[in-house]
Homo-oligomer: A and B are copies of this chain.
């Protein structure tokens, strides 16, 4: 079993900011990246959380992430923009894109912003959540360049898409409703974890290089390299179609061809719709509240204790981990400390340095 340590979000926030600043990020940008990763960990999305601190730092060392690179609009109209992310940290450019799409939708009522040369954005739900926090409907899609194409098309035996997440969010009178799904049966990271633990993958998720269903991660990694199935089990052609939707929005609109091994990591598309142009902002919020009430009032099915809206369990987890800390594999924590040491950072904060969450 993996030994676990529990680290407070405050300490991770403090240390992450130090690490990214030492990597050359502007203080404000170091804070954005750290906060995004800590938020993902707080909400239970550990694969997109502070475990990425080390990966991001290494990408800086390798010149793949360019701290401080300008995030610039290369083409725009009142309602649209193509944003060149300059290979700055993904959360830096994605937060900027969420601001741009909101500014545009505030005036133009519907807006769409896409990226070029973007790095890893971490939790996609974050950026649609930011749109919802501005009172609007937000839709987000994030593809990956060819190197991440583990997911087979329906009926195919080679990877043609990444796990291509799709997300949306809307405001309520409380916490926003945030939905964030991958369009595949499982993530590659999860398969890697299962292999490390000597476990098999649930049936229906992966195939070997010849396209035969398997459950052994080693048969998946090959060679030849196997594939992940699109989301949907026996209706997987639907998940395949959703994956293509993400590809079209995340890559093609911005002019990034799928078949090329371009150096970007995530192609991000954000769409914002301003309810003021429709039923009205206050009415929209009230209607979402009504939908939540209608849906969660549903009597649970056998085996369930309640019906919850998308994102609700993540926000509960956030409250719990804010109070109790974030559980990390000891190796993950050791890796973070090693990166800090390499950067010459004292890893014990003083009281004067404590960051407010």
Contacts and interface: CB of A to CB of B under 8 A. Distances in A.
A257 interface: yes
Contacts of A158: 298-299
B157 A298 contact: yes
Interface in A144-166: 152-158, 160-161
A242 to B, nearest CB: 8
Nearest to A186: B235
A245 B307 contact: no
Contacts of A288: 248, 252
A255 B283 contact: yes
A258 interface: yes
How many copies are assembled?
2
A287 B143 CA distance: 15
Nearest to A247: B291
A27 interface: no
A68 interface: no
A260 B181 CA distance: 29
A67 interface: no
A308 interface: yes
A238 B300 CA distance: 17
A232 interface: yes
A21 interface: no
A102 B354 CA distance: 53
Interface string A185-212: 1000000000000000000000100111
Interface string A221-246: 00000000001111101101110110
Contacts of A181: 238, 241-242
Nearest to A184: B235
Contacts of A232: 231-233, 235
A109 B275 contact: no
Interface of A: 75, 77-80, 82, 108-112, 114, 137, 152-158, 160-161, 168, 170, 177, 179, 181, 185, 207, 210-212, 231-235, 237-238, 240-242, 244-245, 247-249, 252-255, 257-259, 271, 273, 275, 277-280, 283-284, 287-288, 290-291, 293-295, 298-304, 306-310
Given A153-B307, A255-B280, 7 more contacts: A80-B277, A82-B279, A110-B111, A110-B112, A155-B307, A157-B298, A179-B241
